């Protein structure tokens, strides 16, 4: 292992060891550092396109202990900028494992840091907020200096105001699933697990993020799905415009970024959370029943409370009061901030796909 440093934009330094993929002449790895509190599902997290532009730090100390399995990937490749862990397991123990996480990181050309005090890093981000950072090896061939890392961290723009959706969306439409219903899914960074759920409802045509509303309506869909995705919803104005033209003309269901874009099209505003919601254990109250759902979440932005005068708030985060769901029954449109397709243990929120099926048949 080679000595390495993580340097945050505020100048805080963490010592560790370089792991994963590095060129013989390493370049600085940069991005916005966020922490994820999930205990399992590291492969799904690493392959989630919603992490574009970000460096993922896992709070759970042992990552890689059950290996990598192709079926668990949420996309064809990783879009995150890097991985930070306390301990990267050298040998997996699972009958499903097809390769080690080290082999996966090399295959994906993804740099990593291990040996980091992730508890200290997490506490710092909770106090100071998520922020840009840089990391790289400081010993061995092509070693980077602390000064170079500080300069790189200082110049990294982070995610605010950036259109990261254009980096992850599909270039061409494609179809998954079958059935009598026709669903058009906007790909803002869609996960394969979402497509598996939607595919049980009908034939799903996935379209690029900038597809005009008229082209979507020309397909005569029974419903339109707005997917998850990375970055600042305020930077994806072209998508908000198209969503606004669809509302009231076809049933609409949005998840995560799709929720934010639908709410913005309805007149709402979004803001950046101090350190976001990234994990598989967030309690959300369903207002209509009072039931509490344990949810998987991955977002840095949220809807401003009170900014949607005509929409019903359907779900609320019990940790910090963030709006987790909205609905416009008159428009046959609803959305949630969390991920009902995920299974962080329970499957408390999977009923939302049935709700989408119901309004498509209304």
Whether the pLDDT of residue 142 is over 80: the answer is no
Least confident of 250-254, 258-262, 279-283: 279-283
How far apart are alpha carbons 216 and 332 in whole angstroms? 17
User: Tokens for 120?
Assistant: 């200290």
**Residue listed under structure tokens 């990375």:** 230
**171: number of CA atoms within 13 Å, CB side?**
0
Confidence band, pLDDT 50/70/90 cuts, at residue 26: confident
Q: What pLDDT, on the 0 to 100 scale, is given for residue 362?
A: 60
Least confident of 141-150, 205-214, 218-227, 288-297: 141-150
**Residue listed under structure tokens 């909770």:** 126
How far apart are alpha carbons 219 and 68 in whole angstroms? 38
Average pLDDT estimate for 227-236:
97
Average pLDDT estimate for 344-357:
86
Domains of the chain: 2-155 (3.50.30.20), 165-361 (3.40.50.880)
Whether the pLDDT of residue 110 is over 70: the answer is yes
Q: What pLDDT, on the 0 to 100 scale, is given for residue 71?
A: 94
341 annotated active-site: yes
Q: How far is CA 342 from CA 72, 105, 183, 270, 294, in A?
A: 12, 23, 20, 24, 10
E strand map for the chain: 2-8, 13-20, 29-36, 54-58, 62-63, 82-84, 87-88, 111-114, 131-137, 174-176, 182-187, 203-208, 223-226, 252-255, 270-286, 292-303, 312-317, 323-328, 333-336
Query: Rg for the chain (alpha carbons), in Å?
Result: 20
How far apart are alpha carbons 94 and 251 in whole angstroms? 42
Q: What pLDDT, on the 0 to 100 scale, is given for residue 343?
A: 75
What residues have CB less than 8 Å from 7, skipping those under 6 apart? Answer: 13, 14, 133, 134, 135, 146, 149, 150, 152, 153
Kindly report, residue by residue over 311-334, the tens digit of the pLDDT: 999 999 999 999 999 999 999 999
Average pLDDT estimate for 30-51:
96
Nearest to 297 by CA among 263, 247, 260, 265: 260
167 annotated active-site: no
Active-site position among 256, 277, 282, 324:
256
How far apart are alpha carbons 303 and 206 in whole angstroms? 26
How far apart are alpha carbons 238 and 208 in whole angstroms? 12
Q: What pLDDT, on the 0 to 100 scale, is given for residue 58?
A: 98
User: Tokens for 148?
Assistant: 């170079």
Global pTM value: 0.95
Whether the pLDDT of residue 260 is over 80: the answer is yes
Whether the pLDDT of residue 5 is over 80: the answer is yes
Average pLDDT estimate for 96-105:
96
Average pLDDT estimate for 35-45:
95
What residues have CB less than 8 Å from 121, skipping those under 6 apart? Answer: 6, 14, 33, 35, 57, 84
Q: What pLDDT, on the 0 to 100 scale, is given for residue 212?
A: 98
Active-site position among 259, 299, 339, 357:
339
- Report the interhelical angle of 257-265 vs 237-246 (nearest 10°): 70
Tally the residues of the chain: 362
DSSP code at position 186: E
The alpha carbon of residue 179 and the mean position of all alpha carbons in its chain are separated, in whole angstroms, by 28
φ, ψ of residue 238 in degrees (nearest 5) = -60, -35
User: Tokens for 281?
Assistant: 């254990």
Nearest to 50 by CA among 192, 149, 242: 192
Whether the pLDDT of residue 349 is over 80: the answer is yes
How far apart are alpha carbons 297 and 243 in whole angstroms? 23
Kindly report, residue by residue over 153-201, the tens digit of the pLDDT: 999 999 999 999 999 999 999 999 888 899 999 999 999 999 999 999 9
């Amino acid at each position: 292992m080679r000595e390495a440093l993580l340097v945050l934009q505020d100048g805080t330094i963490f010592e560790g060891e370089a792991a994963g993929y590095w060129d013989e002449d390493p370049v600085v790895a940069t991005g916005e550092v966020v922490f994820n509190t999930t205990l399992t599902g590291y492969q799904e997290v690493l392959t989630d396109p919603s992490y574009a532009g970000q460096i993922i730090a896992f709070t759970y100390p042992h990552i890689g202990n059950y290996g990598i399995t192709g079926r668990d990937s949420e996309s064809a490749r990783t879009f995150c900028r890097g991985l930070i862990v306390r301990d990267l397991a050298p040998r997996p123990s699972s009958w499903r494992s097809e390769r080690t996480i080290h082999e996966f990181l090399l295959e994906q050309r993804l740099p990593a840091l291990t040996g980091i005090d992730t508890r200290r890093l997490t506490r710092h981000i909770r106090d100071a907020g998520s922020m840009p950072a840089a990391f790289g090896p400081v010993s061995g061939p092509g070693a980077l200096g602390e000064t170079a890392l500080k300069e790189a961290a200082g110049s990294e723009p982070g995610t605010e105001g950036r259109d990261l959706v254009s980096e992850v969306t599909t270039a061409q439409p494609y179809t998954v699933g079958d059935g009598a219903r026709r669903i058009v899914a906007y790909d803002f960074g869609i996960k394969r697990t979402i497509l598996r759920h939607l595919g049980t409802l009908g034939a799903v045509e996935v379209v690029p993020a900038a597809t005009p509303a008229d082209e979507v309506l020309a397909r005569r869909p029974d419903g339109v799905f707005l997917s998850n995705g990375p970055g600042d919803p305020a930077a994806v104005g072209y998508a908000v415009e198209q969503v606004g033209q669809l509302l009231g003309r076809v049933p609409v269901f949005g998840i995560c970024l799709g929720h934010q874009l639908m709410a913005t099209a309805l007149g709402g505003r979004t803001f950046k959370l101090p350190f976001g919601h990234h994990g598989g254990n967030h309690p959300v109250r369903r207002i209509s029943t009072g039931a509490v759902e344990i949810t998987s979440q991955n977002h840095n932005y949220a809807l401003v409370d009170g900014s949607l005068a005509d929409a019903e708030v359907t779900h609320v985060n019990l940790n910090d009061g963030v709006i987790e769901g909205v609905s416009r029954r008159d428009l046959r449109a609803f959305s949630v901030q969390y991920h009902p397709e995920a299974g962080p243990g329970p499957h408390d929120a999977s009923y939302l796909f049935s709700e989408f099926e119901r309004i498509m048949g209304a």
